[in-house]
Chains A and B, each alone.
Chain A
Amino acid sequence: NAGVTQTPKFQVLKTGQSMTLQCAQDMNHEYMSWYRQDPGMGLRLIHYSVGAGITDQGEVPNGYNVSRSTTEDFPLRLLSAAPSQTSVYFCASSIQQTTEAFFGQGTRLTVV
Chain B
Amino acid sequence: KQEVTQIPAALSVPEGENLVLNCSFTDSAIYNLQWFRQDPGKGLTSLLLIQSSQREQTSGRLNASLDKSSGRSTLYIAASQPGDSATYLCAVGLEGTYKYIFGTGTRLKVLA
Chain A interface (Cβ < 8 Å from any Cβ of B): 4, 31, 33, 35, 40-45, 48, 50, 56, 58-59, 90, 92, 97-106
Contacts and interface: CB of A to CB of B under 8 A. Distances in A.
Given A97-B98, A101-B34, A90 B44 contact: yes
Given A42-B103, A48-B98, A101 B4 contact: no
Nearest to B47: A100
Describe B's contact surface by its main secondary structure: strand
B43 A42 contact: no
Nearest to A91: B43
B44 A45 contact: no
Kindly name the residue among A41, A42, A48, A59 whose own CB sees the greatest number of chain B CB atoms within 10 A: A42
Interface of B: 4, 31-32, 34, 36, 41-46, 49, 51, 89, 91, 93, 98-105
Contacts of A41: 104
A44 B51 CA distance: 21
A25 B13 CA distance: 37
Contacts of A35: 102
A57 to B, nearest CB: 10
Contacts of B51: 98
A106 B42 contact: yes
Nearest to B43: A103
B4 A45 contact: no
B41 to A, nearest CB: 8
Given A98-B51, A101-B34, A45 B100 contact: yes
